A and B are shown apart, each in its own frame.
Chain A
Amino acid sequence: AQSVTQLGSHVSVSEGALVLLRCNYSSSVPPYLFWYVQYPNQGLQLLLKYTTGATLVKGINGFEAEFKKSETSFHLTKPSAHMSDAAEYFCAVSDRSNYQLIWGAGTKLIIKP
């Protein structure tokens, strides 16, 4: 069965610092991987996704993620944090057998001024 683990329910960084949100997955088949972001009082929106091809994926708002098969990881990064990045971030893996997304528990990103 597929699963997703996000390390850290809360991550705090200073404005301008590197953002690193960790996501590890388990999957018996080549995975499709996703990062979604949820701003306060809003629904989730897709940040980026990896399906096939280039393992470094660029998304919206300056975020990117790298698929590392050997490490079963899909960590999300941004070189310089902005106050507007404060949100909850969800990693997900697609179960291609039934088209369901398996979700991580989420990581709340806190930006310190």
Chain B
Amino acid sequence: KAGVTQTPRYLIKTRGQQVTLSCSPISGHRSVSWYQQTPGQGLQFLFEYFSETQRNKGNFPGRFSGRQFSNSRSEMNVSTLELGDSALYLCASSLDQGDEKLFFGSGTQLSVL
């Protein structure tokens, strides 16, 4: 069974640009969560999607958004990038909403210059 796939693996952008990250969950998993990981802040929850609906949202500005498609694949978008958005963005899938057994992808390393 294929794991959680995140693309791209690395991304370099400049301030003010926008970026879209993609996540394909494990087959059969219906819930997708996104996290931002930085050395200083650790793991910060961004949002969770289940059945194409955002079910939970962390404490991030509106520049961070996401969506989930009918096949459970998810994308997250960050607009008007800031230097502080440089981080590893992790996607995790689980069978159902609220399932704490998460399966993580390897992440997308975003660098904002």
A interface residue numbers (CB < 8 A to B): 32, 34, 36, 41-46, 49, 90, 92, 94, 98-101, 103-106
Contacts A43-B92, A99-B98: A105 and B103 contacting too (C-beta < 8 A)? Answer: no
B39 CB to closest chain A CB (Å) equals 9
Is B81 interfacial (CB-CB < 8 Å)? no
Interface residues on B, range: 20 to 34
Q: What does the 1/0 interface line of B1-26 toward A look like (CB < 8 Å)?
A: 00010000000000000000000000
- CB of A99 within 8 A of CB of B56, answer yes
* B105 part of interface (Cβ distance < 8 Å): yes
What's the least CB distance linking B111 to chain A, in Å?
15
Residue contact A43 to B101, C-beta cutoff 8 Å? no
Least CB distance, B61 to chain A, in whole angstroms: 18
Q: Does B106 have its Cβ within 8 Å of any Cβ on chain A?
A: yes
Instruction: Let me know if B100 and A94 touch, CB within 8 A.
Output: yes
Show 28 residue pairs from A and B whose CB-CB distance is below 8 angstroms, ordered by the A residue. Answer: A34-B100, A36-B102, A42-B104, A43-B4, A43-B90, A43-B104, A43-B107, A44-B102, A45-B103, A45-B104, A46-B101, A46-B102, A49-B101, A90-B42, A90-B43, A92-B100, A99-B48, A99-B55, A99-B97, A99-B98, A99-B100, A101-B45, A103-B42, A103-B45, A104-B42, A105-B42, A106-B42, A106-B43
